[in-house]
Structure formats: structure tokens, C-alpha cells
């Protein structure tokens, strides 16, 4: 089964001044992220503002990013939905476009019981048996927690290969690690918890910060895997202020502000997200300058 690597960037979606998707910048950014240490890219996830993208925009982004990475990295499509049938249709279409995997978020708003969650993910996996699937558990956005027992049942399905764990609970991640087979990959959904998660059986991170520090994240994970725990800890502590700064407001508002400070024409966010252009930039500047990510 495919290995998506250790550092996966949850890529932002650039917009033009009129609010339309800026596919040219998306292509440039995707290539840049791969050059800066990303093993794979999640396109149209939370950081990509999937709730306000149309399916047609998403399908075009998948095509643009696949072309941009040119076989140098894998592309994971955010094709989840709170409608099982809609998720199946979107995932099947993404598979035909040529993505390498799908990210399937816990259905939001309808708050399914655990039995419903199992059947939801099972149905998508069975409808796209040749496409690897990564589960995505983020209760702060979905209103429902995918429990470790349910994850364990799902991990027995051949093409469900991992989970993005964004509960913020190391206890929950530990339970998932204990209850799933070694080949089932646990990815941190929080940059600041990547290193602690590695210590309890995690594999990598689906990251926001890797837009800016992909190489450093890759180094942190690799040296930890090589047993150099102290060096990994030093990298983690050096990056911690950045991890925290990128969540001063709702993601992806801060990371888009940081990218603009670096000169990337990623545009603003779509409503109902709203940029705090001036105040946020002023808070980010010293953090970025400290890591030599911008010149001041």
C-alpha cells in the first residue's frame, strides 16, 4: 500500500482579488512545497478552505496540483462530506482524475453515532477500493469524535491506511496506536503535537507550518526516527512559537497572512472567514523573522 511519507502539507487555496481560485499560484506553491520537504500534499482540506470551494473548483485544483508536482510527491484529495453518497461520488471522480489518496473527514453537523461513522467510511472505502484513504478526526470542527475503537475497526479495511488525528489528545492517539496494526499510519493534525505523537507510535504530520518550515519538520521527524531525540526536541522547541502563531486565528487565516509576508500572492480567505490583515501580520512578523523566514 502507498506510503504518503512523513511530512504532508495541508495546502492553502490561493484566491485572486475577485475571489476566484488562482490556479497559477496554486501550481507554483505546490511545486515549492515539494521542493521544501513535503512528501505529499492534501488539496482541498480544512486549510484549503474546502467548505467554500465548489466541487468543480476542487476537481480543477486536483488536476493542477498533480501536474505541478510531476510525480515528485503524492496528492491526497479532500473529498469528504457529511453526505455519504456525496463523498463517494467526489472520491470516485477524484480517483479518475489521478489523485493518490483521499482524506475523509468525520461527517460534520449531523453528528453520527459511532456505528454510522463506521458504515460511512466503510461505504466510501468499498466504493473506491483501489484508492488509499486517510481518516480525518477533528471534533472541534465536526462536532463528533471518531473513537479509537471505531478507528481500530476501520483499520482492518484494506485501503484505509491511516488517520489525521486532530483531537489534541495524546491519550486518544495512544489508544489508536495501541489498537491498530503497525502499518496503520497515525499523522498528527496539530503541528505542536507532532514530536510527542511520534513518541507514542505516530508516523508523521499533516501540517500547516510546513508551508514555511517543511525542511525543518522533515529533519525533526527523521532525526527522531534515527534515535536523536534531543536534536528533535531542540527543533520542536525552536519551531513552537511558529506553531502557536499559526493558530492565533482560525486556520488558514494566519498561514495565508504569513505567506503574504513572504511575498506569495495567495490572496485572502473566503467569507465567512475574515482576514485581520494588519493586527495579525504585526504579530507574525517577529516570529517569522526569528526563524529567518522573512527579512525585516
Q: Which residues are catalytic?
A: 136, 164
Does 206 show up as a binding residue in the annotation? yes
Q: Which three cell numbers stand for residue 194?
A: 507532532
Do the Cβ atoms of 23 and 56 come closer than 8 Å? Answer: no
Residue 114 neighbours by CB distance under 10 Å: 14
Please choose, from the candidates 122, 73, 126, 61, the residue with its C-alpha nearest in 3D space to the C-alpha of residue 100.
73
Q: Cα–Cα distance between 254 and 247 in angstroms, integer?
A: 7
Does 231 show up as a binding residue in the annotation? no
∠ Cα 13 122 180 (to 5°): 90
Q: Cα–Cα distance between 164 and 186 in angstroms, integer?
A: 6
Q: Cα–Cα distance between 16 and 183 in angstroms, integer?
A: 41
| Residue pointed to by grid coordinates 463528533 | 144
Q: Cα–Cα distance between 113 and 111 in angstroms, integer?
A: 7
Q: Cα–Cα distance between 194 and 166 in angstroms, integer?
A: 11
Q: Which three cell numbers stand for residue 31?
A: 511545486
Q: Cα–Cα distance between 218 and 220 in angstroms, integer?
A: 5
Gap between the terminal Cα atoms of the chain: 46
Please choose, from the candidates 45, 138, 124, 46, the residue with its C-alpha nearest in 3D space to the C-alpha of residue 84.
124
- Which residues fall in the annotated binding site? 47, 206
- Which residues fall in the annotated binding site for pyruvate? 47, 206
Amino acid at each position: 500500500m502507498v506510503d504518503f511519507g512523513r511530512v504532508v502539507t495541508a495546502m492553502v487555496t490561493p484566491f485572486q482579488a475577485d475571489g476566484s481560485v488562482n490556479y497559477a499560484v496554486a501550481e507554483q506553491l505546490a511545486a515549492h512545497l515539494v521542493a521544501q520537504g513535503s512528501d505529499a500534499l492534501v488539496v482541498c482540506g480544512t486549510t484549503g478552505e474546502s467548505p467554500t470551494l465548489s466541487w468543480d473548483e476542487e476537481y480543477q485544483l486536483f488536476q493542477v496540483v498533480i501536474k505541478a508536482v510531476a510525480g515528485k510527491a503524492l496528492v491526497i484529495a479532500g473529498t469528504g462530506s457529511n453526505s455519504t453518497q456525496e463523498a463517494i461520488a467526489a472520491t470516485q471522480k477524484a480517483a479518475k482524475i489521478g489523485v493518490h489518496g483521499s482524506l475523509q473527514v468525520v461527517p460534520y453537523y449531523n453528528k453520527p453515532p459511532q456505528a454510522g461513522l463506521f458504515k460511512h467510511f466503510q461505504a466510501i472505502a468499498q466504493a473506491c477500493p483501489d484508492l488509499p484513504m486517510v481518516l480525518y478526526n477533528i471534533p472541534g470542527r465536526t462536532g463528533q469524535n471518531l473513537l479509537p475503537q471505531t478507528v481500530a475497526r476501520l483499520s482492518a479495511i484494506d485501503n484505509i491506511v491511516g488517520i489525521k488525528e486532530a483531537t489534541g489528545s495524546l491519550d486518544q492517539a495512544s489508544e489508536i496506536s495501541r489498537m491498530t496494526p503497525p502499518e496503520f499510519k497515525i499523522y498528527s493534525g496539530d503541528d505542536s503535537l507532532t514530536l510527542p505523537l511520534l513518541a507514542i507510535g505516530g508516523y508523521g504530520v499533516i501540517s500547516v507550518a510546513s508551508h514555511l518550515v517543511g525542511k525543518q519538520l522533515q529533519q525533526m521527524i527523521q532525526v527522531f526516527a534515527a534515535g536523536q531525540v534531543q536534536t528533535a526536541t531542540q527543533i520542536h522547541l525552536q519551531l513552537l512559537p511558529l506553531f502557536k502563531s499559526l493558530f492565533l486565528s482560525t486556520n488558514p487565516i494566519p498561514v495565508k497572512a504569513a505567506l503574504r509576508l513572504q511575498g506569495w500572492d495567495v490572496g485572502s480567505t473566503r467569507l465567512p472567514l475574515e482576514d485581520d490583515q494588519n493586527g495579525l501580520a504585526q504579530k507574525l512578523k517577529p516570529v517569522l523573522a526569528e526563524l529567518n523566514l522573512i527579512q525585516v
